[in-house]
Structure 1
Amino acid sequence: MPLTRRHLLQSAAAAGLAPLMPRRLVAETTIGSGRLITVSDGNLVLPGDFIFAGMPEADLSDILAAQGIDRQRLTPECNVTLWQDGEQTVLFDVGAGSTFMDSAGELLGNLEAAGVSPEQVTVVVFTHAHPDHIWGLLDDFDDLVFPEARYLMGRAEWDYWWDPETAETIGTERQAFAVGARRRMEVIEDRIERFEDGAEILPGLAAILTPGHTPGHMAFELRQGNEATLIVGDAIGNDHVAFARPGWEANSDQDPELAARTRVALMDRLAQEQMPVIGFHLSEGGMGHVERTGDAYRYVPL
């Protein structure tokens, strides 16, 4: 195996020359003969208004109090999905890397705990291009972390972040998102494979356009025989307000009205079909089920 700068960083960490990362998986299941797990990339630390700004405060307080959620400070999990079927090792998103938040960027150490090296990843599929999903594409030397992988992204999502006008129109609070996404996408411009809504991008893996959180956000239905799981990325972004009031507009979505319609449709389908769901920021590893409770929903972790 050729020695790369990434290997030098990993060796330094093993020798105690860099902070040791927690080694933990989060949740694991099987679909058919394949292995489906979530691997922790740490967590985010966000002000409550990142999601809650503009929501009805009285009703919001009741929902958050019932679930013990801090109105002022949120620490959502970041759970990267890994699928292995004996032929492919597929990552859905690549985490935040080392430059977004100190509380995130744990993916590589935790992949090691799963017995997976970066070179073994054969496919990287992006749900969308926000920092906690794509900034982990490059290491500290701007080399690809997953050098042997194919890279797949929905065409609408790629086109949105690739457009130089996005950085000017996305708003000052998200401008760094656009600049950071474009810088990383430039590295894989010649390797990216773009796909459309409804495409079977890998055997048994279908893309589903779930817009609103970002313009081209994609979810993925993984189906093996009569078993299936829906990987929703950030289309369902939390397990409190998003379930209790899926129709409420969330400040964390780039198009809050469209995102709410998408979320309601996903909740209806998941509850009706009793299909397992994996969400990047859902708690307890992000794997669970959706149950209908009156006119609302409830997240039931695996």
Structure 2
Amino acid sequence: MPLSRRRFVRTAISAPLALSLPRFAMADLSIGSATLTTVSDGSLTLPGSFIFEPMPQDELAPVLAEFGVSSERLTPECNLALYRDGTNTVLFDVGSGPDFMPTAGAVTDSLAAIDLAPEDITHVVFTHAHPDHIWGLLDEFDDPLFYNATYMMGRAEWDYWWDPETVNTIGDARAAFAVGAKRRMQVIEDAVVRFDDGQEILPGIAALSTPGHTPGHMAFELRNGTDSALVVGDAIGNHHVAFRKPDWESGADQDPALAVTTRNMLFDRLMAEQMTLIGFHLPNGGIGRVGQDANGYRFLEGQ
């Protein structure tokens, strides 16, 4: 079969990399007869103030000390959920690509480590359109990297980033987010499938509106047989203050008050149903459950 330009470039660069692939954090979960794997896009490097600035600093310090988290510098993982049911190979979000942070953009190497290539992905489903979730959409030719995939995004999220006024109203610190999202969305404008809250977007995958981090942020309930899990994206954005103090507003959220309401709704549901969650920025692959102790909620890794 003749090599496409994508396949040629990937083949040329993958050979020397094959012997030196880093070991990316991954986790696996069986959901009925389906499999969910998290694949790493690397990590971010953020100032602590990005999240912690609006929080009560005297109460924040002991929470950070409990988890060994710095108030100055954060390095959260970026974990993309990959769902395979024998028919569909679904990737939730696409990571950062090469243009956001040098510590991120590793999803293609992570997929290669489990013998998958971009063309094997049948569907890309977006939780939201922040850079670490959508900037990896395009390849080095500014074409869709996952070129065989159907792209899917919640209607409210699409409409927000597509609106030409968003770049003027989102604030200076996030204006580049709006420009970058719009540029990538323009490439898939005619092909993207949009959906609404509660809709079953694929067999066994239902959308759940979780706004606040962004206006149209979506989580996804995965069900296969009697098993279930919830892909929460950034609606629960870390394993420390988001769990211990879900009522605290975070600087990472575009609508902090609404994000608090969403977070509490998710914790109530995850606890009531004892459902597994998959969080984009949760540690060690991001798969676990919500537990509770005298100090509040706690992320139970891998359970």
Change (3 A) 1:117 1:90: same
Kept after mapping to 1: 8 A contact 2:24/2:42: no
Match of 1:238 in 2: 238
1:189-208 CA deviation, whole Å, 9 max, x = no partner? 01001001000001111100
Structure 2 residues not aligned, in runs of 5+: none
CA distance in 2, matches of 1:98, 1:194: 26
Residue aligned with 1:51, SS: helix
Match of 1:262 in 2: 262
Q: Which amino acid aligns with 1:273?
A: E
CA distance in 1, matches of 2:225, 2:101: 39
Match of 1:145 in 2: 145
Q: Which amino acid aligns with 1:182?
A: K
Structure 1 residues not aligned, in runs of 5+: none
Query: Do residues 42 (structure 1) and 42 (structure 2) align?
Result: yes
CA distance in 2, matches of 1:17, 1:121: 21
Tell me how many residue pairs correspond in the alignment. 302
Q: Which amino acid aligns with 2:139?
A: D
Query: Do residues 122 (structure 1) and 122 (structure 2) align?
Result: yes
Match of 2:198 in 1: 198
Q: Please say which of residues 5-14 and 121-130 is displaced more in the overlay.
A: 5-14
Q: Please say which of residues 177-186 and 111-120 is displaced more in the overlay.
A: 111-120
Identity %: 60
Kept after mapping to 2: 8 A contact 1:198/1:207: yes
Match of 1:79 in 2: 79
TM-score w.r.t. length of structure 1 = 0.97
Query: Do residues 223 (structure 1) and 238 (structure 2) align?
Result: no
1:131-156 CA deviation, whole Å, 9 max, x = no partner? 00000100121011111110110000
CA distance in 2, matches of 1:264, 1:219: 14
Match of 2:175 in 1: 175
CA distance in 1, matches of 2:271, 2:261: 16
- Tell me how far 1:115 sits from its aligned partner: 1.7
CA distance in 2, matches of 1:100, 1:276: 30
Supply the RMSD in Å over aligned alpha carbons: 1.6
CA distance in 2, matches of 1:17, 1:89: 24
Change (3 A) 1:254 1:20: farther
1:163-206 CA deviation, whole Å, 9 max, x = no partner? 01000110010000000000000000010010010000011111
